[in-house]
Structures are given as C-alpha cells and as structure tokens.
Amino acid sequence: MSVSEQNIQIELIKEKAIANAQDLINNNHITDLESKTNGLSLHEESSYLFDPAIFSMIKTSEFKFQYDKFELMKSSHSQENLVDLGDDLVLRPLKRDDFGRSYMNLLSHLTEIGDVNQQDYEKRFDQMKQADNTYFICVVEDVKNQKVVASLTLVYEQKFIRHTGSRGRFEDMVVDVDYRGKKLSKLLLDVLIQVSQILGCYKISLECKDPLRKHYEQFGFCLEQGQNYLCRRFI
C-alpha cells in the first residue's frame, strides 16, 4: 500500500470515529463529548461532506477525456486536497456552507427543489455526513463568484452479497446553464468513476433520459440486455 493510500485509510478511519462519536451524542450516550475530546468541535472539524484526500489517489491518465488544467492544490493549514481546474474553478466535496454559494439554486437547474431553507440544507448535510462514507457529492465552485456551478453525487451502497461488496449509484448530475459545454459534467464523471473504484465498488449505475445515453456511454455505461429500470412514483 502506497503512502497516499495509507493516508486515505487513516483519514477514513478518522472520519468514521468522528461519525461514531456524533452518533453517540445523537443517541444521548454521551452528553458532553467536547470535554472528552479537548474541545474538538465536530461541525468545525471538517466542513466537507467527505474527505478530499481521496482526490490525491486519482490518476488523470485513466480519464476518458483530457482537461486543460487538473492540479491538486494542497492548502497550507490543513490536509485538504482540492483540485484546481483553472479559470477560478475548483473541484471539491460539497461543503456545509454551500447553501450560501447557491447550491440549491444549482439543483433547481435539474429538477423541482421545493422550499428548502438554510436550516433544512444544513440538517440534511449533517445527516448525509453522519451516514459515514455513503454520500460523495462532488462539486465545482467558481471561487471568484463564490458559486457552486456543477454537482454530481455518488451514493456508496454497502451490501451483503458479492462477499459483502459495495456498489455505487450516480445521482443528480447538474451543471449551471452558464457553465455548460466546458466539460464539467465529463470531469465530474471521470473523477467519481475513479472514486467509486478506489472505494471498491463492483459496479456503478445511473438513470438518464434517452438524449443523454450517448454522453454516459462514452464513460462505459451501457444498457444491459435483459435488465429493466422500473420505477414507482408516489408524487
């Protein structure tokens, strides 16, 4: 195992420990965790939905497409691994304060979002984060305009089958109308396909409308013979 892979493992274990601690608080097993952890604030420990260190394991040589600029930026004050895409665009995990960076407005370019205020957003963010390495929402931020302009979700699903294997589902791909045609959707696919491989998924799947099939087929997704996608809607 390489040093960067070891670091990832350590970070994942750390995340799990924090999530477990949060779970203990939520279930009232511990009422005053802060005094036991020297003032560590669980919400401030990391505002990212998942550990960006996983990006350091991505191999651009395995991308399906080429992107003009794809550089890992290491922040001086922490172990953050963000990706500089040039043109003031940065690829990173979703953050707890992205409501203020128009994240819900971005999702409205995909579908109906309903009435979601900042409190609702933060509550759902915390629930996703506590689900411990289940939600990998990767976004692109225009840092100049402080706006999240693209997003793709990888849901990591653990199973009993396939030797207690895991599979991934891609959900909610969206790019802000003003940023389309810049290969941001392709980049998010290239990145999260590798993340799902790093996590050990035996397969990933997604649902899309007919016109976008070609787009996803370029990344190896295909309609499997004999398989059907069935859906029952309640609203």
Could you say whether residue 185 binds ligand COA (CB under 6 A)? yes
In this structure, the dihedral spanned by the alpha carbons of residues 174, 178, 180 and 183, taken in order and rounded to 10 degrees, is: -100
Give the binding-site size for ligand COA (rule: CB under 6 A): 16
Interface residue with ligand COA, options 181, 226, 233, 234 (CB under 6 A):
181
Strand partners, 168: 156, 204
For residue 186, how many other CB atoms are within 10 A of its CB? 17
- DSSP calls for 18-71: HHHHHHHHHTTS-S-HHHHTTT--HHHH--BSS-GGGGGG--GGG-SS--S--E
Q: How far is the CB of 70 from ligand COA (least distance, A)?
A: 14
Q: Which is nearer to ligand COA, 99 or 216 (CB)?
A: 216
Q: Are 101 and 145 in contact (CB under 8 A)?
A: no
Q: Which is nearer to ligand COA, 150 or 195 (CB)?
A: 150
Interface residue with ligand COA, options 107, 180, 197, 198 (CB under 6 A):
180
Q: Which is nearer to ligand COA, 89 or 175 (CB)?
A: 175
Interface residue with ligand COA, options 35, 211, 227, 233 (CB under 6 A):
211
Distance CA 193, CA 172 (A): 15
Distance CA 97, CA 77 (A): 19
Interface residue with ligand COA, options 24, 212, 222, 223 (CB under 6 A):
212
Q: Which is nearer to ligand COA, 114 or 181 (CB)?
A: 181
Could you say whether residue 21 binds ligand COA (CB under 6 A)? no
Distance CA 81, CA 71 (A): 10
Interface residue with ligand COA, options 137, 173, 192, 195 (CB under 6 A):
173
Interaction residues for ligand COA, span 60-119 (CB under 6 A): 109-110
Neighbour-count burial for 61-88, b at 16+ CB within 10 Å, e otherwise: eebeeebeebeeeeeeeeebbbbebeee
Q: Rg of the chain over CA atoms, in angstroms?
A: 18
Could you say whether residue 169 binds ligand COA (CB under 6 A)? no
Q: Which is nearer to ligand COA, 53 or 173 (CB)?
A: 173
Q: Binding residues for ligand COA, per CB under 6 A?
A: 109-110, 173-175, 180-186, 208, 211-212, 215
